Amino acid sequence: MFSKTPCEDYVDSAVKQTLSIHLAQPAGDILVFMTGQEDIEVTCQVLKERMEQLENPPPLSILPIYSQLPADLQAKIFQRSEGNARKVIVATNIAETSLTVDGIMYVVDTGYCKLKVYNPRIGMDALQVTPISQANGNQRSGRAGRTGPGVAYRLYTEEAYRNEMFFNTIPEIQRTNLASVVLQLKCLGVKNLLDFDFMDPPPQENILNSMYQLWILGAFDNGGDLTTAGAKMNEFPLDPSLAKMLITAEEQGCTAEVVTIVSMLSVPSVFYRPKERMEESDAAREKFFVPESDHLTLLHVYTQWKSNNYRDDWCTKHFVHPKAMRKAREVRAQLIDIMKTVKMPYVSCGTDWDVIRKCICSAYFHQAARLKGIGEYVNCRSGMKCHLHPTSALFGAGFTPDYVVYHELILTSKEYMQCVTSVDPYWLAELGPMFFSIRERDRR
């Protein structure tokens, strides 16, 4: 069923539609599609408040589901609710295909989802709220009545569905950073990447940008051919920047620490920040902070978890995702196996963490930023503003380093740098001579 008029606020419209189903329609659980964690939490909160304003409404069990939710809370959507109350599950597009919940009779489709879109000009991933495609809409409608008849309420008009939505979602290869793909194709002996016969050809600008990035990292020579370092990077199933970090760690003698950092960067955020216990979780996170570096903070979390025998209850107590930590441990074991295959030594630098920061700088010198104001930086190459994220170890450290490198830039409400490490400007000149040089000021 389509909406008769376009809705201005999809959260408010979804809440009203859900309550109207709950109060007027026969038994059956409701599945509401939202864009992301923030929207889901707001929807659940508003639903709860509106239910409290009603006089003796039938019981309603409100359950969120998104990737950062702990596994025990995720499992609740499959369990029978207390007193057989109707369930309303508020989910991201994970519920389109990845899981099927019995008893869903009603679907409320807002018509939006979050897509990760890469901008090659500024090298930034933006999580953008975009209208879904017709294929997404049909898939969402199909979730209603898997085990019996059901109804899908679409909060967009039929005209919008037919004329404004793409037939299919834009393929990921056309909206992502292609550095790993380009490196792999070069290793397979593809000479001219621009003429390669992709099923869904990505924009040429993305390919050229990835080739430039690989040249910066030393994977390609000046003629665009693969170097020895590039072939070694391709051995690791990692983003080329992370592979470069590991290769530099071999030279600096700190592979044991860097392989842990790379593993932690290869999984989603390990920190859990529940809405109702934000201050408590922030205080727990601060105990792990290494003031110069978010990368070293991740290393600290892993070493603490290891010294506590990899226990799940330790993770829960410190607001750390046990599932993400277990995944990081698996990735680490896999990388150590590859290191043995390519005869890369496993050595520790002990407590000299400056060499680790230098390795991080070697992988991200092209993503360096210098201090401009309080918590505000500008990219050294493009001059674009970027900000420290409030959850960064450097954000409340009491001092702000002059130069930092970052793992990635994410555009949400601002351009935020994710996973930041302070670096010595001399390292930038040493490791990225194509961009940086030291200009000594006259000392008079």
Q: What is the pLDDT of residues 289-329, one digit of tens each?
A: 888 899 999 999 999 999 999 999 999 899 999 989 999 99
Q: What is the pLDDT of residue 443?
A: 44
Residues 188 and 128 in one domain: no
104-109 sheet: strands from edge to edge? 60-65, 86-91, 29-33, 104-109, 151-154
20, two tokens: 């109207």
Residues 56 and 125 in one domain: yes
Given 235, 264, 288, the domain boundary residue is 235
- Rg, C-alpha atoms of the chain: 25
Residue 326 falls inside a structural domain: no
Residue 104 falls inside a structural domain: yes
Neighbours of 52 (CB within 10 A): 8
Residues 58 and 158 in one domain: yes
- Helix, strand, coil distribution of the chain in percent, nearest 5: 45, 20, 40
Residue 1 falls inside a structural domain: no
192, two tokens: 């001219």
Q: What is the pLDDT of residue 8?
A: 85
Number of domains in the chain: 3
Residues 36 and 78 in one domain: yes
Residue 269 falls inside a structural domain: no
What residue spans of 308-382 are helical by DSSP H?
Answer: 312-317, 322-341, 354-364
Domain of residue 365: give its range. 361-432
Residue 86 falls inside a structural domain: yes
Q: Which helix (H) or strand (E) holds 184?
A: helix 179-187
Residues 146 and 207 in one domain: no
CB contact at 8 A, 89 and 104: yes
Q: Which residues fall within 8 angstroms of residue 259, CB to CB, at 6 or more apart?
A: 246, 249, 332, 335, 336, 339, 346
176, two tokens: 């992502």
pTM flag (> 0.85): no
Residue 221 falls inside a structural domain: yes
Residues 149 and 40 in one domain: yes
Q: Which helix (H) or strand (E) holds 20?
A: helix 10-24
377, two tokens: 């930086």
Residues 124 and 222 in one domain: no
141, two tokens: 């409608």
Q: What is the pLDDT of residue 409?
A: 82
For tokens 């209603």, name the residue: 144
What CA–CA distance (Å, rounded) separates 414 from 207?
A: 27
Given 130, 150, 170, the domain boundary residue is 170
Residues 61 and 160 in one domain: yes
275, two tokens: 């809405």
CATH number, domain with residue 216: 1.10.10.2130
Residue 60 falls inside a structural domain: yes
Residues 16 and 149 in one domain: yes
Which residues, listed in sequence order, are joined to residue 411 by a DSSP beta bridge?
Answer: 126, 415
Residues 156 and 59 in one domain: yes
CATH number, domain with residue 130: 3.40.50.300
What CA–CA distance (Å, rounded) separates 157 from 111?
A: 10
Q: Which helix (H) or strand (E) holds 125?
A: strand 124-131
Residue 304 falls inside a structural domain: no
Q: Which residues fall within 8 angstroms of residue 405, CB to CB, at 6 or more apart?
A: 360, 361, 364, 365, 367, 368, 369, 420, 421, 423
Given 235, 262, 285, the domain boundary residue is 235
CB contact at 8 A, 21 and 30: yes
Q: Would you give the distance in Å from CA 244 to the centre of its chain?
A: 21
Q: Which helix (H) or strand (E) holds 116?
A: strand 112-119
Residues 160 and 15 in one domain: yes
Which long-range contacts (C-beta less than 8 Å, at least 24 apart) are formed by 369-375? Answer: 369/403, 369/404, 369/405, 369/406, 369/417, 370/402, 370/403, 371/400, 371/401, 371/402, 371/403, 374/400, 375/400
Residues 185 and 136 in one domain: no
Q: Which residues fall within 8 angstroms of residue 293, CB to CB, at 6 or more apart?
A: 353, 357, 360, 393, 394, 420, 421, 422
What CA–CA distance (Å, rounded) separates 178 from 118?
A: 10
Low-confidence ranges of the chain (pLDDT < 70): 121-124, 147, 375, 397-398, 440-444
Q: What are residue 397's phi and psi, to 5 degrees? A: -75, -10
